[in-house]
C-alpha cells in the first residue's frame, strides 16, 4: 500500500489534467482531487478510535463500489451547489481510483493481502504479483497498538517509500501540466 504522500501526489496528477469546471477555482478542484485520492485511507479513523489503527484498513473503502458511491455523493453535493454533476463525478472517481491503482501495485504485509477491488460484487482481494512501489510499512497485525503504528510510520523505510513514489508520480504531474498548457494554447 502506498503512503499518504504518494496518494496525494496521485490526486495532484489527476488535478493537473482536470478541465476547468465553471464556478470552481483551480484551488478548490485541486483540494477536491487530493482529498478524493486519500479518502480510502480514512478507514484508519475507526481503528484509531479503538486503539488499533489498521483494524479496518484496506477494507471496503478500497473498492470500486465504494469509489462509485463516494464520488456519487460528492458530485450530488456539488450539484446542489450549482455545479454540473458529470464533470465533478468523473473527477472524483478518477482521483479516488488513483488510490486503488497505487495500492494495487504496492506490497501488502498483512492478511488479507491486497484490496477488495470488486466489492460488493466479490469479497476477493487483488494485488499485483509484481509490486512497483515499496509501500508503506506500519504494522504487521490489525490488532497492533497506536504506538506501534506510529513507530512504524516514522521509519527510514517509509521515507524511502515516499521518495520512490515522488520519483514515479512527479513525471505524471509534469506531463499533466504540459497537457493542460498545450490545450489552453491550442
d(CA 95, CA 70): 11
Nearest to 44, CA basis, from 132, 126, 139: 139
pLDDT at residue 183 tops 90: no
d(CA 100, CA 56): 16
Under 8 Å between Cβ of 130 and 102: no
The confidence band for 118, taking pLDDT boundaries of 50, 70 and 90, is very high
SS3 86: helix
- Among the residue ranges 20-34, 38-52, 135-149, the one predicted with the least confidence is 135-149
Mean pLDDT of 37-51: 94
Residue position matching grid coordinates 483551480: 26
Mean pLDDT of 24-53: 93
pLDDT at residue 73 tops 90: yes
- Among the residue ranges 7-11, 52-56, 89-93, the one predicted with the least confidence is 52-56
Grid cell digits, residue 54: 489498521
Task: Supply φ then ψ for residue 145, to 5 degrees.
Answer: -75, 165
Under 8 Å between Cβ of 134 and 164: yes
Task: Supply φ then ψ for residue 21, to 5 degrees.
Answer: -115, 115
pLDDT at residue 155 tops 90: no
Question: Residue 186: its pLDDT value, please?
Answer: 67
Amino acid at each position: 500500500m502506498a503512503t499518504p504522500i504518494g496518494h496525494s501526489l496521485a490526486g495532484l496528477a489527476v488535478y493537473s489534467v482536470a478541465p476547468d469546471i465553471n464556478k470552481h477555482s483551480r484551488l478548490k478542484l485541486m483540494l477536491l482531487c487530493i482529498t478524493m485520492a486519500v479518502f480510502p485511507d480514512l478507514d484508519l479513523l475507526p481503528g484509531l478510535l479503538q486503539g488499533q489503527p489498521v483494524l479496518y484498513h484496506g477494507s471496503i473503502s478500497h473498492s470500486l463500489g465504494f469509489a462509485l458511491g463516494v464520488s456519487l455523493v460528492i458530485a450530488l453535493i456539488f450539484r446542489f451547489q450549482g455545479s454540473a454533476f458529470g464533470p465533478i463525478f468523473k473527477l472524483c472517481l478518477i482521483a479516488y481510483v488513483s488510490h486503488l491503482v497505487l495500492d494495487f501495485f504496492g506490497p501488502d504485509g498483512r492478511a488479507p493481502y491486497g484490496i477488495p477491488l470488486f466489492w460488493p460484487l466479490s469479497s476477493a482481494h487483488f494485488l499485483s504479483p509484481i509490486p512497483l512501489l515499496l509501500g508503506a510499512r506500519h504494522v504487521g497485525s490489525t490488532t497492533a497498538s497506536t504506538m506501534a503504528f506510529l513507530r512504524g510510520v516514522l521509519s527510514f523505510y517509509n521515507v524511502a517509500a515516499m521518495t520512490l513514489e515522488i520519483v514515479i508520480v512527479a513525471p505524471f504531474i509534469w506531463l499533466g501540466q504540459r497537457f493542460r498548457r498545450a490545450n489552453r494554447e491550442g
